[in-house]
Amino acid sequence: MKEYDESAVKRAPDGKWLSGGNPAGRPVGSRNKFADNFFADLSATWAAHGKTAMEKTAQEEPAKFVAICASLIPKDVQLSLTARLPGGLDPDDWQIALAVFQAVRDALPDASKRPPGEVMAFVLEAIRAHDAKLVEG
């Protein structure tokens, strides 16, 4: 630990260090020195090899490439996309549901003005009629 003159230590009434910080503490800026150097080296390496490494990974290890890409998507984006699908439907089932809704709208243009039970009765009747077998007499 560094030796310092306690009479030179300047603190505010609330105990915080005044300008200049703790005279016995870490030098200003040293805390981020490692990170700054790391990101400078990373940037230089990426500039020299980044695109080549990315293309090689995509071709030779596509699963790893996709995993890396997915890990770069912010979590809040993933959550908002998942939360957007009602009933916990996966995207394929959601597409089917949208197609069904569109078919109902096409068949019943005023469906949004009808009670849900009436719309459902119409849909069930249409499904039953489609599956009905022709009886010849």
Any idea where the domains of the chain sit in the sequence?
88-137
- Contacts with 107 (C-beta within 8 Å, 6 or more apart), sequence order: 122, 126
The distance of Cα 31 from the centroid of its chain, to the nearest Å, equals 31
Q: What whole-number distance in Å separates Cα of residue 45 and Cα of residue 97? A: 48
Which pLDDT does position 97 carry in this prediction?
87
Q: Each residue of 25-48: b (16+ CB within 10 Å) or e?
A: eeeeeeeeeeeeeeeeeeeeeeee
Separation CA 87–CA 83 (nearest Å): 9
71 or 41, higher pLDDT = 41
Q: pLDDT (tens digit, 9 = 90+) per residue, 3-59?
A: 555 555 667 778 776 666 566 666 666 778 888 889 999 999 999 999 999 999 999
Q: What is the pLDDT of residue 5?
A: 56
The three-class DSSP label of residue 14 is coil
* Residue found under tokens 């069930």: 124
pTM: 0.35
Q: Is 97 or 10 the better-scoring residue by pLDDT?
A: 97
Q: Which of 25-34, 38-47, 62-71, 75-84 has the lowest mean pLDDT?
A: 75-84
Find the mean pLDDT for residues 57-67: 89
Does pLDDT of 102 surpass 60? Answer: yes
* Euclidean distance between CA atoms 134 and 137, whole angstroms: 10
Higher pLDDT, 78 or 127: 127
On average, the pLDDT of the chain sits at 80
The token pair that represents 69 in the structure block: 């890409």
